[in-house]
Structure 1
């Protein structure tokens, strides 16, 4: 900084976002100064992004932060500059102007980045200065694909494996030892002060890397400092607060939030719902959750009319797309190969589709994707502000509220576990910290019941 100004390079394509980029650059520089972060550019960026993830920042915001800091490093190497006043960068997240009122229609949905493969957006495709490591990353991707793991799993494992590579300065994979893993995990816990969940994520990623990509025994990891695990109590909304938020959400975001709260869905579970998942005759919704695990939930009776209207919109949009000669929706590679006509069939259409079609660069096809999560997050951010709710509300807050409200209604904890799709009861037990004990019973022996 100099004379109250910050100097950066800005290409024309980034100029409209300079306030956001300036904000992220300030956060990055403060982060490096506070935690005495050293290392290469990529290492510092990775640590910064891990910190943002630990703070609950969305993937979209982390990507924007990464672009801003990368642009800053380009400036350091290039020399040309544009001077921007410090006061021009607001601390709060700038939001695009949205239509007022719950009855307004959303703006046109921007297309998602084109993709021709289910996995091609993952970071494993980046190349490095080590052909040996690039080969290992290709092997890692192949092992994940064979197991039909999600793209997010591939992205996560690839990210940690690449950071591990950079930490070791591209040490040949054949020379990796358990000691290298210990040093890396210790560095994360002590130097980077990551959360326990972040360290565990790194551990699981490297475990998969060693076992399946390197085909080597991982060995025992003793005496590795563990990141301190703190008790997390989720934010929960009252019914009045939820109604206040819904009053400021327009279609389709209001209906999305009603499903998030009414069925306890994760955001990706809701946005990836398809026509085939709704059984209106039985009042059942089939949800495809994490780890390829499906579960069924009752459809909320209070929004059945809204769901029927949305289904009609989907049918009309689908018919219009067929008339225009579009190539259907995105499906995973395996299903599309087995059923080539499936993308154009009604039952596979997204329940919350994008209005615009997405061009696929590889083959020139026009496909339809579902509503992007960032649009829901922006609409929700505005609605919470308009409702004057002094809580940090995200899409996942409605899932927390769903579980807590069921617990308050004296639902059995095992039933709640099933409805949420949790593998472990321990995960569900976190909601017991949100509900105060309302009755104190006299201690009695079961023989006296």
Structure 2
């Protein structure tokens, strides 16, 4: 594989010691985002590199690390692909300038022990050493906390499957057998199997530094299920069973088309009462967008922000003024984490210690709270559908199109890159329309018509 050639080139005399250590890390992360890295030559173009840099930014990578990551791809382009295009020099210069401003030191110098410790965060020392190492690598490469949790879980399950903690003795055949067992015996979905594969690829390529070839596994079938959505009458029946914070979250998820996570992660500064809209930051695909601020949600939202402000004052008085910010923003705006504008609209009732940084602060409301309230409301409303909070987002899109809203407008409100994705949210109740009827209904109608004609 070309990754192996890259690592041989890195060990030459062209790079300093720091780059020799970090370049393979960054290129493996780049490779894992492109067909899971299972290719002979990695494609390198400006769009892919920009997307790679932006994904690092969204996960909190400071400019000096993004500078180093882009240089790693540039080095791969020059000495493995033997090409001069695309030209990445402008991107490298911009990131270098930002990086010097952030660190105020020589970028070529290796990260200090304090910087590395901050990147790696805290660990559960009761976990196996290889899991602690994996967590450290994922944090250094700025993977999201949810991704870390999922990948670690799959590596632990694989370790249990092979009944060994010495995972470096296993190879593509063993991983392929495990992935096959997930599909055949575990009957998992295609997305679950892909997540397991990605977690194991990261562990073997980024932690153990082991190059893997083709994974021969029976692939789980990708389902073509139609997601659940609710009619307008069902929305009315559901809403009466929500109170307080959960009612407000219902109004925002359905009324603004928010994802459940986007609703929980709203910050006070992103609610624009005068303009009548909500700014959704870092949505799926690291995209920002603007959507409705439902009129019915305005008064309860102002009351909820008052609650968040009171909790903020309590936290400040008790010496806990901070709130989570991505690492780069925390460095760029060192006082922003103590400002009310950056606090969560839906703060947790209690402060907690962040597992990664060890910092004590008040996080946003937990995922389970609204999800559990939603289950209870479904039962009390007597709606026999297997709905989840995301079903409200499907209902939002469907009802907008039923009301005559242009599909491209719905696409922008939903934050979809591809209109085909939006079409999946517009369900059969609209597609069939009133002009098309079941042949059974037509048969009954014809029979009744003939009967009336015979009587006359």
**Quick check: TM above 0.5?**
yes
Kindly provide the CA deviation profile for residues 404-446 of structure 1, in whole angstroms up to 9, marking residues without a partner as x: 22332344445434433345555434334433332779xxxxx
Give the equivalent residue in structure 2 for 1:229: 222
Hey, what's the Cα distance between the residues in 1 that align with 2:179 and 2:358?
Answer: 44
Hey, what's the Cα distance between the residues in 2 that align with 1:425 and 1:216?
Answer: 39
Contact 1:211 / 1:218 at 8 angstroms: preserved in 2?
Answer: yes
Give the equivalent residue in structure 2 for 1:157: 151
Q: Which of 229, 242, 248 pairs up with 2:241?
A: 248
Contact 1:310 / 1:351 at 8 angstroms: preserved in 2?
Answer: yes
Give the equivalent residue in structure 2 for 1:399: 393
Q: Secondary structure at the match of 1:252?
A: helix
Structure 1 residues 414 and 121: CA distance shift in structure 2, 3 A: farther
Structure 1 residues 119 and 248: CA distance shift in structure 2, 3 A: farther
Contact 1:117 / 1:333 at 8 angstroms: preserved in 2?
Answer: no
Give the equivalent residue in structure 1 for 2:185: 191
Whether 2:432 is the aligned partner of 1:437: answer yes
Structure 1 residues 294 and 216: CA distance shift in structure 2, 3 A: farther
Kindly provide the CA deviation profile for residues 100-131 of structure 1, in whole angstroms up to 9, marking residues without a partner as x: xxxxxxxxxxxxxxxx9898799x87623xx5
Kindly provide the CA deviation profile for residues 70-96 of structure 1, in whole angstroms up to 9, marking residues without a partner as x: xxxxxxxxxxxxxxxxxxxxxxxxxxx
Hey, what's the Cα distance between the residues in 2 that align with 1:402 and 1:363?
Answer: 37
Q: How does 1:141-152 map to 2 (within 5 A)?
A: 141-152=135-146
Q: Which of 268, 275, 278 pairs up with 2:271?
A: 278
Structure 1 residues 271 and 290: CA distance shift in structure 2, 3 A: same
Hey, what's the Cα distance between the residues in 1 that align with 2:182 and 2:312?
Answer: 48
Contact 2:308 / 2:343 at 8 angstroms: preserved in 1?
Answer: yes
Q: Secondary structure at the match of 2:243?
A: coil
Q: Which of 313, 317, 324 pairs up with 1:319?
A: 313
Q: How does 1:120-135 map to 2 (within 5 A)?
A: 127-128=127-128, 131=129, 134=130
Hey, what's the Cα distance between the residues in 1 that align with 2:165 and 2:320?
Answer: 48
Q: Unpaired runs of 5+ in structure 1?
A: 1-115, 442-449
Structure 1 residues 207 and 356: CA distance shift in structure 2, 3 A: closer
Hey, what's the Cα distance between the residues in 1 that align with 2:313 and 2:360?
Answer: 15
Structure 1 residues 418 and 213: CA distance shift in structure 2, 3 A: farther
My pick for the range that moved more, 353-362 or 209-218, is: 353-362
Shift of the alpha carbon at 1:156? 0.8
Structure richer in helix, relative to its length? 2
Structure 1 residues 371 and 363: CA distance shift in structure 2, 3 A: closer
Q: Secondary structure at the match of 1:166?
A: helix
Whether 2:232 is the aligned partner of 1:239: answer yes
Contact 1:274 / 1:348 at 8 angstroms: preserved in 2?
Answer: yes
Shift of the alpha carbon at 1:339? 4.4
Q: Secondary structure at the match of 1:226?
A: coil
Hey, what's the Cα distance between the residues in 2 that align with 1:361 and 1:267?
Answer: 22
Which structure ranks higher in relative contact order (CA pairs < 8 Å, sequence separation ≥ 6)?
1
Q: Which of 273, 290, 293 pairs up with 1:296?
A: 290
Q: Secondary structure at the match of 1:296?
A: strand
Hey, what's the Cα distance between the residues in 2 that align with 1:361 and 1:145?
Answer: 12
Give the equivalent residue in structure 2 for 1:33: none
Shift of the alpha carbon at 1:392? 2.3
Q: How does 1:96-135 map to 2 (within 5 A)?
A: 127-128=127-128, 131=129, 134=130
Shift of the alpha carbon at 1:327? 3.2
My pick for the range that moved more, 362-371 or 265-274, is: 362-371
Shift of the alpha carbon at 1:220? 1.9
Hey, what's the Cα distance between the residues in 2 that align with 1:419 and 1:282?
Answer: 16
Count residues with an aligned counterpart: 318
Kindly provide the CA deviation profile for residues 245-280 of structure 1, in whole angstroms up to 9, marking residues without a partner as x: 221211111011111111221212111111121122
Whether 2:342 is the aligned partner of 1:348: answer yes
My pick for the range that moved more, 138-147 or 160-169, is: 138-147
Give the equivalent residue in structure 1 for 2:196: 202
Structure 1 residues 218 and 290: CA distance shift in structure 2, 3 A: farther
Q: Unpaired runs of 5+ in structure 2?
A: 1-116, 437-456
Shift of the alpha carbon at 1:147? 4.0
Structure 1 residues 231 and 365: CA distance shift in structure 2, 3 A: closer
Contact 1:326 / 1:365 at 8 angstroms: preserved in 2?
Answer: no
Kindly provide the CA deviation profile for residues 194-228 of structure 1, in whole angstroms up to 9, marking residues without a partner as x: 12221122122223333333334332234x21222
Structure 1 residues 151 and 359: CA distance shift in structure 2, 3 A: closer
Contact 1:236 / 1:398 at 8 angstroms: preserved in 2?
Answer: yes
Hey, what's the Cα distance between the residues in 2 that align with 1:294 and 1:362?
Answer: 26
Give the equivalent residue in structure 2 for 1:266: 259
Structure 1 residues 396 and 364: CA distance shift in structure 2, 3 A: closer
- Pairwise CA RMSD: 3.4
Hey, what's the Cα distance between the residues in 2 that align with 1:362 and 1:199?
Answer: 27
Shift of the alpha carbon at 1:192? 1.6
